[in-house]
Amino acid sequence: MQGVVEINALEASQNYPKYVDIIIPAYNEEKRIKPVLDDVSNFINENKLSWRIFISVDGNDGTVNIIKKYQETCAFIFYNKSEERNGKGKAIKRILLKYQNILNDIILIMDADNSIKFIDIINNLNQIKYCDTLLFNRYNKRNKIPFYRYFLGRSFNIIIKGILHLNINDTQTGYKVFKKKALMDSVNKVSTCGTFFDVSLLYHIKKENYRISEIDASTYNHNKNSTFKVFTLTFNMFISIIAFRLRHSNVYNYIPEKIKSKLLHIYFKFVKY
């Protein structure tokens, strides 16, 4: 990869990719997942597309019951369930592992919160032709983001760019499109399960010389019902960056095994969720 490319949003196109698989990690999302499933399932049905939805469910609320209702009329919806909170990364990996032999060449991973409208995604989906990973950047002038989230997000991003040399404006966006080969070649190298999963995955995609592009999301709406504790997660992420950089540096090879073990214990403690 020669660098991250920023591209401009295109007008809506009817030439949608014929085969796309959509992965939605969902941790106790019974209050938020219906609008997403409505938008996606209606779009697939109306356009008669051979697309599929795979929902990776963590937790024990009523999310599965909602999904089962949709399955009654949408044969293209599948789910995989875990009673525990395994973290976003593991939730995604469960789907990739279980269905790896049948997944299509274009994979969209999206959050269940509907914070970026599905129409924004599909209108620009064809941009994946020109790269291997397409990210929808929330941090642009058209979107209103609470100041504290904006400040923490931009501070985190500066550190990411400085320490990991990952020149991406929004590593944490919940809306990413991948070519299957780029995703599968990189995801197995990711050892984290939680919120740092995104950074680690993009780091390895870059390291494997795949092309990453970003496009501005024009419909982002901050979801006030977010289940994440922003300040706690931000602190954990900062610790994770330092540990991750050390783990993937030449210095790591010279650290005694006992100290490595302690460092890894601290690392996984912070990046679990």
Res. 263 pLDDT band, cuts 50 70 90: low
Residues 100-112: tens digit of each pLDDT: 999 999 999 999 9
**Average pLDDT of span 181-202:** 91
Mean pLDDT of the chain: 86
**Average pLDDT of span 261-268:** 66
Is the alpha carbon torsion for 121, 126, 131, 132 positive or negative?
Answer: positive
- Give which of 175, 136, 172 is closest to 154, Cα–Cα: 172
Where are the chain's structural domains?
5-144+169-223
Is the alpha carbon torsion for 80, 54, 218, 42 positive or negative?
Answer: negative
> Does the structure show a pLDDT above 70 at 231?
no
Yes or no: say if 91 and 60 are a contact pair by the CB < 8 Å rule: no
Query: Higher model confidence: residue 134 or residue 141?
Result: 134
Give dist(CA 133, CA 212) in Å, integer.
Answer: 5
Res. 145 pLDDT band, cuts 50 70 90: confident
232, with CB counted inside 10 A (0-12, 13-18, 19+), is exposed
pTM of the model: 0.85
Return the percentage of the chain with pLDDT > 90, whole number: 59
Class of domain 5-144+169-223 as given by CATH: alpha beta
